[in-house]
Amino acid sequence: MSKFGMTVTEHLLSQQRLHPDATGAFTVLLSELIVAAKIISKEARKSGLTDILGFTGDINVQGEAVKKLDEFANTSIIRRMSHLGQLCAMVSEESADIIEIPSKYQKGNYVLIFDPLDGSSNIDANVNIGTIFSIYKKVTPGEQVASVDVLQPGYRQVAAGYFLYGTSTMMVYTTGDGLHGFTLYPAVGEFLLSHENIRIPERGSIFSVNMGYTNYWDENVKAVVDHFTKADPEKGLPYSLRYIGSLVADFHRTLLYGGIFMYPPDRKDPKKPHGKLRLTCECAPLAMLVKQAGGMATDGERDILEIEPGEIHQRVPLYIGSAKDVKTVMEILKTERK
Ligand code: P6P
């Protein structure tokens, strides 16, 4: 069969064959996550109709409480993944604490960390939103889950990826053997291989940052933005500015077109001096993906994948994208501002 007719299930099995000691548990885990994403995608597509179709927004025709889409996404993933027997714990951007696997279900050796619906504040404007996931192996023996099992540095991820609910629904994932993209073919409900071995351009021509925070940035960050906005055609400057305000959409464009996405530290919210993006469920998975595509991700000083999380919702600054662009930013940030 042509590579472009390959389903994600076939691809998962081909990846599994690369690991002779694989038990198939991992394939089961990812396959179930894909089912959850298809359910979320269906809901996301009709969410704009909730009012038009006359749903109260509280009680739907089945008599079930119609939850907000991100709560729906969170519940869908937790429900589907809990009974699989492959997980020992979950961490969700929507849940304050570690999500235990109910005692009635068999536990497994994997930890799933996810942002169920990143960018959900954009749904009413019909802007792309996404689900981000990250998978680790349990590092402590026995069934008991310790904090070290969920607070692992990103380089220990065994898989990462995202689902993008946009003009089409896409899945982009890696298990450490390249970065691959699949597009949902709604007529048959299958994700088909559409972007094999994604490579990010070594350098781009787009930078992505919320310029509205300019007055909340320090001089080093302002110097970074000045670099991308100065007119120097011989150096391919200025870059274009694109900022959707939905991380998965901004990252996906950066991955395919090149350039850099930035969420620098800012003084906007004293409770979030490192910016609003979370290390474990947003930055670390995207850092694994971009590295597989030949790019880089840093908090301005360290490789995102090297950072040991101190707590499950730790926030870090993020500079991610084309290797040459990220290196340029790190050089500028290192220079002491007068
Ligand atoms: P700001 C969406 O709310 C989100 O978490 C990310 O998807 C997005 O990159 C970021 O916030 C946008 O944040 O502060 O620029 O509106």
Split at pLDDT 50, 70, 90, the class of 66 is: very low
pLDDT, position 63: 45
Tell which one of 246, 266, 315 to mutate to probe ligand 1, the residue whose CB is within 8 A of the most ligand atoms: 246
Ligand 1 contact via 247 beta carbon (within 6 Å):
yes
- Cβ neighbors of 66 (< 8 A, separation 6 or more) are 50, 55, 56, 57, 58, 59, 60
DSSP secondary structure, 279-298, as one string = IIIIIHHHHHHHHHTT-EEE
Ligand 1 contact via 245 beta carbon (within 6 Å):
yes
Ligand 1 contact via 43 beta carbon (within 6 Å):
no
Measured in Å, how far apart are the chain's first and last C-alpha atoms? 61
Q: For 74-91, how does the pLDDT look when each residue is reduced to its tens digit (9 = 90+)?
A: 999 999 999 999 999 999
pLDDT, position 67: 47
> Residue 174 CA to chain centroid, in angstroms?
12
Identify the sign of the CA torsion 188, 194, 197, 198. negative
> Residue length, the chain?
338
- What does the H/E/C string look like for 164-221? EECCCEEEEEECCCCCEEEEEECCCCEEEEEECCCCCCCCCCEEECCHHHHHHCCHHH
Average confidence (pLDDT) over 317-338: 91
pLDDT, position 65: 45
Q: For 241-297, how does the pLDDT look when each residue is reduced to its tens digit (9 = 90+)?
A: 999 999 999 999 999 999 999 999 999 998 889 999 999 999 999 999 999 999 999
Alpha helices, DSSP H, located in 68-124? 69-82
* Domains present along the chain, CATH in parentheses: 8-195 (3.30.540.10), 206-337 (3.40.190.80)
Give the number of the atom of ligand 1 that is nearest the alpha carbon of residue 121: 3
Mean pLDDT: which of 8-17, 59-68, 299-308 is highest? Answer: 299-308
- Distance in Å, CA 263 to ligand 1 centroid: 9
Question: What DSSP character marks residue 156?
Answer: G
Split at pLDDT 50, 70, 90, the class of 16 is: confident
Give the number of the atom of ligand 1 that is nearest the alpha carbon of residue 277: 5
Ligand 1 contact via 121 beta carbon (within 6 Å):
yes
DSSP-assigned beta bridge partners for residue 301: none
Ligand 1 contact via 122 beta carbon (within 6 Å):
no
Q: Which of 255, 248, 301 is closest to 120 using CA atoms?
A: 248
Give the number of the atom of ligand 1 that is nearest the alpha carbon of residue 246: 7
pLDDT at 49 exceeding the cut of 70? no
- Distance in Å, CA 1 to ligand 1 centroid: 40
How many Å is the Cα radius of gyration of the chain? Answer: 20
* 235 phi/psi in degrees, rounded to 5: -100, 15
Ligand 1 contact via 129 beta carbon (within 6 Å):
no
Identify the residue whose C-alpha is closest to ligand 1 atom 13: 245
Identify the sign of the CA torsion 278, 182, 135, 105. positive
Q: For 117-126, how does the pLDDT look when each residue is reduced to its tens digit (9 = 90+)?
A: 998 778 778 8
Split at pLDDT 50, 70, 90, the class of 336 is: low
Split at pLDDT 50, 70, 90, the class of 311 is: very high
Asked whether 181 and 194 are in contact (CB, 8 A), the reply is yes
